[in-house]
Structure 1
Amino acid sequence: MSTASVLFDAPGPRARVRNRIISVVTIVIAALIVWAVVAKLASKGQLTAAKWQPFLTGNLWKTYVLPGVEGTLTAAGLSIVLALILGFLLGMGRLSHVGFIRWPSAVIVEFFRAVPVLIMMIFAYFLFALYDVFMSTHLALAGVVTGLTLYNGAVIAEIVRAGVNSLPRGQSEAAAALGLRWGQTMRSILLPQAITSMLPVLVSQLVVVLKDTAIGYQITFVEMVRQGTVVGSSYGNYIPALIVIALLMISANFALSVAATRLERRLRRSKRAGVPLQTQAALEPGD
């Protein structure tokens, strides 16, 4: 007789054997698919040493790869900072008790969440070009940053609103009992707690910002993926070029995730160490 688990009954002897067989068959099929793909690429000459040789030269990195890395990191960095600022402002606006602040914030958030990022990039690019807002050399960067900021700022606003609303109502009630105003409650009590709980979701969204810079090739923006295809076209090594670009993208995303994880741990430690026990007891829900 199988013992009960939290979500389902633990498999019996026959089920365990069947699961092992299914796992082995799945692994074998996956290995065969990988082998077939690698063999096909090898037959086309995409995995020979000659195709990887250009990446050992400094000229390729200086001419193609590094400008793409610089463009991607620049656009992502600017978009992340601006989207966080816009997102927190709109999120606070949606949480406001003042109607003429809350309703416009809600309209802006819903509008920019509904419009595709590429459409906003193209619109901003041609709008800036029409009115000479930026120099021609910065037009593509401005279009990419504008599109990413507006879309992701709207998404972050919803993350902020959901994070604050997920906190126990006792937090707000305790703050009101202490005589704190809405702004003081948000700044001193609710937001610090919400930010810590929101960090995993925020990191996921920031990774999306980094990856979506690749869409900027539609408005001639120089970024990593575009430069990878240029390398493949110039040297005839599309697969090695895209593998290298993929590794660079994975490294950037991993670094962002590691930095956010360390920040989350630091915030949790500082919150535990910095809040007096009397304040913690006063803010506990139900007291």
Structure 2
Amino acid sequence: MLGLDLTFLNWDVLSKFVLGGLRFSVQLTVVATLGGILLGTVLALMRLSGNKVLALPATIYVNGMRSIPLVMVILWFFLLVPSWVYGYLPGGMNNRAEYSAYITFIAFEAAYFSEIMRAGIQSIPRGQVFAGQALGMTYAQNMRLVVLPQAFRNMLPVLLTQTIILFQDTSLVYAIGAYDMLKGFTTAGKIYGRPEEAYLLAAVVYFAICYGLSWSVKRLQAKIAIVR
């Protein structure tokens, strides 16, 4: 520990190597969260529909994704999707790793968000659902106007906590060569011959960001609990 030299990571090094990776990590987190919640809501509604044609595929998808390590899903998608597919996207093969990360994280996180959404929907008293039906609402109207608004409020702290975990998982894109924040620290450490210091500072930055977000979620949860 006495041989550590943290002075090499000045602002110029951070702006050159780390900030670009941090930007991608944040973008991946936001896109995967929004896409995962959207797809996860659809999967949750399919599982709760009572229709086996809809519920069975959704159940297989959710349980399958939750049983496979994320890094394996990332590698499978990156290696198995034909290269010509990326030719139709902006940047083409130059952004292959980034596109693979976006799609994989949305597909993977949707399984976890689906379970959160399903639990939130089931937390709404059935009496409110029956009241909506008595007013002549369809299933879609009942969900959109009565159930989901309340469910989202109940699930908000859990959704944000899952988002923090998602941000930590973005470091796994190193497996396909995407340039995230960890990759930025790793590159700087290799160039300046200080890999130990680079990984140590990366851990500190991840801790500071995730701890700050976790503290904010706890404050939000306390405010919601007071309102109730």
* TM-score above 0.5, yes or no: yes
Take 1:120 and 1:70, find their aligned partners in 2: how far apart are those partners?
Answer: 23
Take 1:81 and 1:96, find their aligned partners in 2: how far apart are those partners?
Answer: 23
Partner residue, 1:95: 48
Take 2:220 and 2:39, find their aligned partners in 1: how far apart are those partners?
Answer: 21
**CA offset at residue 256 of structure 1?**
4.5
Give % identity. 27
2:26 aligned with 1:73, yes or no? yes
**CA offset at residue 110 of structure 1?**
1.9
For 1:120, which of 55, 64, 73 is the aligned residue? 73
Partner residue, 1:23: none
TM-score between the two structures when normalised by the length of structure 2: 0.85
- Is the CA contact 1:84–1:153 (under 8 Å) kept in the aligned structure 2? yes
**CA offset at residue 260 of structure 1?**
5.7
- 1:115-264 aligned within 5 A: 115-133=68-86, 134=89, 135-254=92-211, 256-257=213-214
The unaligned stretches of length 5 or more in structure 2 are none
2:39 aligned with 1:86, yes or no? yes
- Is the CA contact 2:62–2:112 (under 8 Å) kept in the aligned structure 1? yes
Partner residue, 2:6: 52
Take 1:63 and 1:217, find their aligned partners in 2: how far apart are those partners?
Answer: 18
**CA offset at residue 117 of structure 1?**
1.1
- Is the CA contact 1:120–1:146 (under 8 Å) kept in the aligned structure 2? no
**CA offset at residue 121 of structure 1?**
0.9
Partner residue, 1:30: none
| 2:148 alignment partner AA | L
SS of the residue corresponding to residue 183 of structure 1 reads: helix
C-alpha spacing 1:84/1:256, structure 2 compared with 1 (3 Å): farther
Q: Which has the higher contact order (CA 8 A, sep 6+)?
A: 2
**CA offset at residue 220 of structure 1?**
0.7
- Is the CA contact 1:225–1:245 (under 8 Å) kept in the aligned structure 2? yes
TM-score between the two structures when normalised by the length of structure 1: 0.69
**CA offset at residue 80 of structure 1?**
1.5
The unaligned stretches of length 5 or more in structure 1 are 1-40, 273-287
Take 2:218 and 2:34, find their aligned partners in 1: how far apart are those partners?
Answer: 18
Query: Which is greater in Rg?
Result: 1
| 2:105 alignment partner AA | L
Partner residue, 1:3: none
Partner residue, 1:21: none
Take 1:57 and 1:97, find their aligned partners in 2: how far apart are those partners?
Answer: 56
- Is the CA contact 1:118–1:147 (under 8 Å) kept in the aligned structure 2? no
Q: How many residues are treated as equivalent by the alignment?
A: 224
C-alpha spacing 1:92/1:115, structure 2 compared with 1 (3 Å): same
